[in-house]
């Protein structure tokens, strides 16, 4: 593998939050996302997903996705970061190490873009300096309580863009400042 390939992998976050920074209600509820659901508007998700060859999920997010019924990551490598047993049904891998170990492995395998999803996993990647960019879609609602996207780590960001949508959702794109 060339050195260029080795350095080329990006780890990305693509997530919706309330204006007060929650990714779910205290009980994990996502009903409030419907405030921005509009037919024919995916807020760039398909375009983003087309650039992704690996999905890294936290255990809670994985369990939530399993509850959706349909498996949304067909054609992509999926790694679930968990310390507990699971019964993979779609070829997903379980990983019990650190984010840095996982990133090193994925880079060695020649991957190009990692979609990092799940509150705690995102926080761990951020704290370890392993995130390259974040796309945050702010839903026009204040929840007042919930599971926060960020927790504990300070990080300067560089704004790449901000786009408002007719639903009231605003999508913010950041790169991580060096």
Q: Residues in the site for a copy of itself, rule: CB under 8 A?
A: 19-21, 35, 126, 136, 138, 140-145, 148-159, 161-164, 168-170, 172, 174, 177
Residue 131 Cβ vs a copy of itself, minimum distance, rounded to whole Å: 10
Residue pair 22/143 in contact (Cβ under 8 Å)? The answer is: yes
Residue 133 Cβ vs a copy of itself, minimum distance, rounded to whole Å: 13
Residue 165 Cβ vs a copy of itself, minimum distance, rounded to whole Å: 8
Q: Which is nearer to a copy of itself, 79 or 116 (CB)?
A: 116
Length of the chain: 178
Q: Which residues of 113-145 are buried (b: 16+ CB within 10 A; e: fewer)?
A: bbbbbbbebbbbbbeeebbbbbbbbbbebebee
Site of tokens 């405030």: 35
Nearest one of 20, 13, 11 to 147, comparing CA atoms: 20
Q: Which is nearer to a copy of itself, 72 or 168 (CB)?
A: 168
Residue 161 Cβ vs a copy of itself, minimum distance, rounded to whole Å: 7
């Amino acid at each position: 593998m060339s050195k260029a390939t080795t350095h080329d992998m990006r780890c990305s976050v693509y997530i919706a939050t309330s204006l007060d920074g929650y990714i779910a209600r205290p009980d994990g509820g996502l009903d409030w996302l419907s405030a921005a659901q509009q037919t024919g508007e995916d807020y760039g998700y398909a375009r983003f997903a087309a650039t992704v060859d690996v999905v890294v999920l936290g255990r809670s997010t994985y369990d939530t996705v399993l509850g959706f019924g349909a498996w949304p990551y067909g054609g992509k490598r999926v790694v679930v970061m968990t310390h507990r047993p699971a019964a993979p049904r779609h070829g997903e891998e379980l990983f019990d190490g650190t984010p840095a170990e996982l990133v090193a492995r994925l880079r060695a395998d020649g991957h190009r873009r990692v979609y990092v999803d799940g509150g705690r996993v995102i926080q761990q990647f951020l704290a370890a300096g392993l995130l390259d960019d974040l796309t945050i879609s702010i839903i026009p609602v204040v929840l007042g309580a919930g599971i926060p996207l960020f927790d504990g780590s300070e990080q300067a960001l560089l704004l790449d863009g901000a786009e408002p949508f007719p639903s009231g959702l605003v999508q913010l794109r950041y790169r991580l400042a060096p």
